[in-house]
Chains A and B, each alone.
Chain A
Amino acid sequence: MSNSQTIPASASPTASSATTGHLAFAPAVFWQWLAGPVWLLAALVTWKLPDRDDFPDTGQFAFLLFAVGLCLLALTAIGRLRERAPWALVLGLGLGAWEVMQAKFLLLPRPFFGTPQDLLDVFLTDWKRLGDSLLHSLLLLVIGYVSGSVLGIITGVALGRSHHIRYWVRPIMRLIGPLPPVALLPLTFVIFPSTRLAGEVLMALAAGFPVAVLTWSGVSAVDHAYYDVARTMGAGDRFLVLRVALPAATPQIFVGLFMGLGASFAMLVVAEMLGVKSGLGFYMQWAQGWAAYPNMYAALIVMSLMCTTLMTLLFKLRDHCLKWQKNGLKW
């Protein structure tokens, strides 16, 4: 039945092509069946062609390529590869080409350009330290970002709703808001007892400012008629803030949350490279100091996976909170 699978194949594969009895050449199907074999071929080349130097883990890398190739074939067979096929194919080609160029013929200067197995070796031998760094980064980031965002939302709502708070807080916001949080790095490292705490404060500041400003602007822009509707039905301040102002400002708040997340990513790397003695930024700094380039690449990959995952989670949260909106950017 598998040759009846086409790219937009629905969840219920029908036997239509079998019953009509003609098997037309479908390029989509062809591409899908090519992805797996490309990886298998890359595995074969890695395994059979001799390495140019004494590289680690060639066998493991070949096995990895082989395993992925089999998985892709299986996915094609059950019709789940679909529009991912071209990407799978190109990735296989790319890894194969990299392997041949560097491990088999050594065309690019070392050590800046490693081989795929060098990179794989880092993950296989140093995964503990990488994982530990990831955990530390994640903790620093999440604690700083979440507390900054919560404080930002509270500040923004207060600014949008109260004259008194506006009077006192606005000048402070205007003074320190536009300052890049990085500029406060030396100061915070002096003020706070631990570099970790200093990093968290900086992260919270980096996230909190855009969140506060956009929440404020969102709350000030709430249509006054929304308040009138609730007030005639007996709503008090609590309801007006939590159930009218906040939901009405949610689209703006999310813009702030996205900006804040980007700012905290930047802040995270800087803080870890300049003070905090743990985390992926620290790991990268260390790897570069020892000219351990594969380690640096590995940390870079882990960091980018972390950032994109967090970004995706935030998009998911936004889609959930703003499902009442007509449309939004797809991540």
Chain B
Amino acid sequence: MVTSSQPVPPLGLTLSHLSHSYEMPSGARSVLDDVSLDVEPGEFIALIGPSGCGKSTLLRLVAGLETPDTGTLLADGASITGPDPSRIIMFQDPTLYPWRTVHSNISLGLDIRGEKNPEAVAAAIRLVGLEEFSRAWPHQLSGGMAQRVALARALINSPRMLLLDEPLGKLDSLTRLAMQTKLYRLWKSQGFTALMVTHDVEEALLLASRVIVFSPRPARILADIHVDWPEPRHREDPRLQSLRAHILEQLETGISPLATA
């Protein structure tokens, strides 16, 4: 429930020695290589890495949509064996159902669980600024609007952990700034744990409490950076700028010892 802003108990996450590969005609394609990560309840983690390195795959594993070849995933100490509404993933593509209006796309999670909560749906629509489009069909939306619908559709489930795969990737820079703020406030008020894949280093440093940098495929963790200076953060902050340069350099070289800023 988006409006009630009742904080949910956030979910902690323990990934140990995760490895994963996809079967290809040419043999197995290794995507994750011995990834270990501890996420405290309520953390906001940004995942950064070159395109195709395996970030979306990692989110799919955490969502329970796929099982790793080796390694364990624990959510609050319990093994992850399948999808669960407490861990909601927002995919890289909006994947709205074209046969549902914006309104009923957003209420999908409620429909699945047989819940009724018109106020929550209305609030979610308001949150992403699509009041005028609640009766529209997905094909009538722009790419950025569709992505905002997908965000609202995820939030309606009051997840204890939100897995965001480039949630703001298709937004224009102005809407993007506004949505960053909204996302940040939402995380503050709801208290869910957030794992966000992004290509935008600046965005990661503005929002996240920790930034994980991955190597090219198969993804290994190159750096685990705690961004621990207090909010509000500004993009002009010299600390942010120097960290940004540092991360970009790591992404470019692709090899680096674990570093903590």
**Using a CB–CB distance below 8 Å, which chain A residues touch chain B?**
223, 225-226, 228-235, 239, 243-244, 247-248, 250, 324-326
Q: Separation in Å of the B125 CB from the closest CB of chain A?
A: 17
Q: Separation in Å of the B153 CB from the closest CB of chain A?
A: 8
B112, A223: Cβ atoms under 8 Å?
no
A230, B91: Cβ atoms under 8 Å?
no
A227's nearest neighbour on chain B, judged by CB, is B65
Q: A225-B93, A324-B137, A326-B139 are in contact. Are A232 and B99 (CB under 8 A)?
A: no
Q: A234-B112, A239-B112, A326-B139 are in contact. Are A229 and B84 (CB under 8 A)?
A: no
Q: Separation in Å of the B31 CB from the closest CB of chain A?
A: 17
Tell me, yes or no, whether B113 is within 8 Å of chain A by CB: yes
* B-chain residues with CB within 8 Å of residue A225 when the two chains form the complex: 91, 93, 95
Partner of B99, one of A231, A248, A326: A248
A232, B88: Cβ atoms under 8 Å?
yes
A-B pair count, CB < 8 Å, reads 62
Q: A247-B97, A248-B99, A326-B139 are in contact. Are A233 and B91 (CB under 8 A)?
A: no
A226, B99: Cβ atoms under 8 Å?
no
CA distance A223 to B88 in the complex (A): 19
Tell me, yes or no, whether B63 is within 8 Å of chain A by CB: yes
A235's nearest neighbour on chain B, judged by CB, is B112
A244's nearest neighbour on chain B, judged by CB, is B97
CA distance A86 to B167 in the complex (A): 57
Q: Separation in Å of the B136 CB from the closest CB of chain A?
A: 10
How many positions in chain B have a CB within 8 Å of any CB in the partner chain?
28
Q: Separation in Å of the B109 CB from the closest CB of chain A?
A: 4
- 21 A-B pairs, CB-CB below 8 angstroms? A225-B91, A225-B93, A228-B95, A229-B108, A230-B108, A231-B83, A232-B64, A232-B85, A232-B89, A233-B85, A233-B109, A233-B112, A233-B157, A234-B85, A234-B112, A235-B112, A247-B97, A247-B99, A248-B99, A324-B137, A325-B98
CA distance A231 to B65 in the complex (A): 8
* B-chain residues with CB within 8 Å of residue A229 when the two chains form the complex: 91, 95, 97, 108, 153
* B-chain residues with CB within 8 Å of residue A234 when the two chains form the complex: 83-85, 109, 112-113
Q: Separation in Å of the A226 CB from the closest CB of chain B?
A: 6
B97, A226: Cβ atoms under 8 Å?
yes
CA distance A223 to B87 in the complex (A): 22
CA distance A248 to B84 in the complex (A): 23
A236's nearest neighbour on chain B, judged by CB, is B112
A230, B99: Cβ atoms under 8 Å?
no
Q: Separation in Å of the A28 CB from the closest CB of chain B?
A: 35
List 9 additional contacts besides A229-B95, A235-B112; criterion CB under 8 Å: A225-B95, A229-B153, A233-B83, A233-B88, A233-B108, A233-B157, A234-B85, A324-B137, A325-B139
B84's nearest neighbour on chain A, judged by CB, is A234
B95, A233: Cβ atoms under 8 Å?
no
Considering the complex, which residues of chain B in the window 109-129 have a beta carbon less than 8 Å from any beta carbon of chain A?
109, 111-113
CA distance A26 to B154 in the complex (A): 59
CA distance A231 to B60 in the complex (A): 12
Partner of A232, one of B83, B97, B98, B138: B83
CA distance A248 to B101 in the complex (A): 14
CA distance A275 to B202 in the complex (A): 79
B63, A232: Cβ atoms under 8 Å?
yes
* A-chain residues with CB within 8 Å of residue B95 when the two chains form the complex: 223, 225-226, 228-229
B65, A228: Cβ atoms under 8 Å?
yes
Q: Separation in Å of the A228 CB from the closest CB of chain B?
A: 5
CA distance A324 to B136 in the complex (A): 9
B113's nearest neighbour on chain A, judged by CB, is A234
Give per-residue flags for B120-158: 1 if the beta carbon is below 8 A from chain A beta carbons, else 0. Answer: 000000000000000001110000000000000100010
Q: Separation in Å of the A293 CB from the closest CB of chain B?
A: 50
* A-chain residues with CB within 8 Å of residue B138 when the two chains form the complex: 324
CA distance A186 to B261 in the complex (A): 85
